[in-house]
Amino acid sequence: MTYYTRMGDGKRVTMTKEQILDDIHNGTADAADMAGIPQLDANAIDHIAEIIMSQDRVVGVTPGNEVVLSYDIGQLDFTGDNGNSGNGVDMGRLEAALLHERALGADTFELAHSDYSIKPVKPVISMEMQTMEEIQAEIVAPFFYGAMPNQGLYYAPDGPYGNPADLMREFMIEESMQQSELASQHVTRDIEYVTTRLQAAGSDGFNFDTTGSAGDADCVGTLNGVKILREQCPEAYIQVGFAGESIMGIHGSIEFEGQVVAGMYPHQYVHIAEQAGANVVGTVCNTNTSKSLAFNIARAVTFIKEAVKTSNIPVHADMGMGVGGIPMCETPPIDAVSRASKAMVEIAGVDGI
């Protein structure tokens, strides 16, 4: 007998039970080998196989086992184009927030700039503060502000600092590291400027999305910004979502609180997020587009299960296009999304998604 399933690029394929089990074994072994963590046990492997082989198009958790949902990109999932998993529906940010709360049952939601990064928010901060205040007067659900630190915007040609990739190509290693450090400090300053003002405007908290997307210096700059926000706004809800299953060592030796962050995996970076002052940490596993859904879910669950086990703060697995075992395509298919999400809740034990 064969079962309909997916590849990591979303392609619909059929596989036998034996092939599915083989891929689950290979996926958990790959994650365990990379991060030096335990593989999934036989019960977890069988559970993933059952989820994959379910004949239902959409699967879910049993009543009572639901988890909290948090979001990134705010209203852009309505207003953005389909390349950003949006729907191209023109509406205001207030309407989008209320639709998520009242029609879609969102547990939380966030306000976002159309260019979802800290840097472009800074020159329009007064308008973002006004919008935050207006929406807070209408919405009941916890309402945050969200943005990516996105240190890449601080490098040439978009920013004032030399691009580490260009410098390294010229074997200017020390200069590359110096520019990364300067850009990291600038990210921290901008985070303080933007986040504290939005908190003053009534935001319930801040979602730092895709932390470390520009490497380890990006990660350190963000965490230093989180630390300042926690000191200045002790009641703020702070969610730090990471960019990948391992922090890229573009600098290679930059530290946060005495720890080199390059090469950290989810079960390790949950602790530096906690040290910085995060309430919730978003953990990541990147999808391999040439492997099956079974392989990718098993691999993702292996990483995140260990992170949940070691973390002292709630873990919200990053689940979307190309992460969390979900296929990398513009609009991920619901059969794959629901299976990956169910596995994360029931096997990895995440606190939210």
Which are the contacts of 104, defined by CB distance < 8 A and separation ≥ 6? none
Taking the chain, what is the end-to-end CA distance rounded to the nearest angstrom?
33
Alpha carbons 52 and 35: distance in angstroms, whole number: 25
Alpha carbons 350 and 338: distance in angstroms, whole number: 14
Name the CATH architecture for the domain at 2-348: Alpha-Beta Barrel (3.20)
Among candidates 147, 323, 321, 319, which has minimal Cα distance to 238? 147
pLDDT > 90: percent of the chain: 92
In the chain, where does DSSP find H-type helix? 17-35, 42-53, 76-79, 93-102, 118-121, 125-136, 164-169, 173-200, 216-232, 266-276, 293-310, 334-343
- pLDDT single digits (tens) 39-81: 999 999 999 999 999 999 999 999 999 999 998 887 888 887 7
- Please provide the average confidence, as pLDDT, over all residues in the chain: 96
Per-residue pLDDT band at 268 (split at 50, 70, 90): very high
| Residue pointed to by tokens 């990064």 | 117
- pLDDT single digits (tens) 142-165: 999 999 999 999 999 999 999 999
Question: Is 12 exposed, middle or buried (CB count within 10 Å of its CB: 0-12, 13-18, 19+)?
Answer: exposed
Decide: 38 and 308 in contact? Cβ < 8 Å: no
Taking residues 122-149, report their average pLDDT: 97
Question: Is 193 exposed, middle or buried (CB count within 10 Å of its CB: 0-12, 13-18, 19+)?
Answer: middle
With 0.85 as the threshold, say if the pTM is over it. Answer: yes
- pLDDT single digits (tens) 238-265: 999 999 999 999 999 999 999 999 999 9
| Residue ranges of domains in the chain | 2-348
Which are the contacts of 213, defined by CB distance < 8 A and separation ≥ 6? 148, 149, 150, 151, 152, 243, 244
Per-residue pLDDT band at 83 (split at 50, 70, 90): low
* Other beta carbons within 10 Å of 127: 11
State residue 219's pLDDT score. 98
